[in-house]
Amino acid sequence: MSSEQPAETHTQHVREMPIQNTAHRSPLTAHRAKPWYREPWPWLLMVAPLAAVAGGAVTLWLAVTTSDGLVAEDYYKQGLAINRTLSRDVVARARNLHARVVLGDGFNRVRVTLSGEALPDRLALHVVHPTRPGMDQTALLTGVGRGTYEAALQPLTSGRWQVTIEDEARSWRLAGIWQLPEQNALELAAP
């Protein structure tokens, strides 16, 4: 029995002693390693891909929820109509037409003074926003005196507007760009 006791004591002593082998430890692994999520480098490396995913999600949301206002549904017909539109400019030049367009207070009333040959009784005024078709307006201007026409408009916002004046038969046109509120008046002549 006495021979068995030292064997058990030796086994118990070996179990209680931790095994430490420091001969193969490098100075970099001498401290206890942190979990990966407590290190800054994985997070720094994940920032760019996560930002790209978030940016892609925002871009997709914008593409789905907003309309593409710059694309005309009948672009082919509009392209074919360019020659006819250019001929309207030639007619306006032949009639020596010139117009002065003035907005009233609050940008909600327009007055056009037209000079030239064969002035019509009424004019059509088209005010077109370059990027937002929902803001476009068309007004029929009635004559209030020789060569003077007036009409009411919805108030125009500041920005760049494409303005076209034409007769009801659409035989001629005058067009130009109007920058509001910098320009209170716009002078139009045939190109």
Residues 6+ apart with CB under 8 A from 190: 89, 90, 92, 93, 97, 172, 174
Query: Residue 73: is its pLDDT beyond 80?
Result: no
Residues 6+ apart with CB under 8 A from 175: 89, 162, 163, 164, 165, 188
Q: Domain spans of the chain? A: 97-189
Q: What is the pLDDT of residues 117-131, one digit of tens each?
A: 888 889 999 999 888
Under CATH, what is the fold of the domain 97-189?
Immunoglobulin-like (2.60.40)
Q: What is the pLDDT of residues 28-42, one digit of tens each?
A: 555 678 898 899 999
pTM to 2 decimals?
A: 0.59
The answer to whether residues 74 and 88 touch, using CB atoms and an 8 Å cutoff, is no
Higher per-residue confidence, 172 vs 23: 172
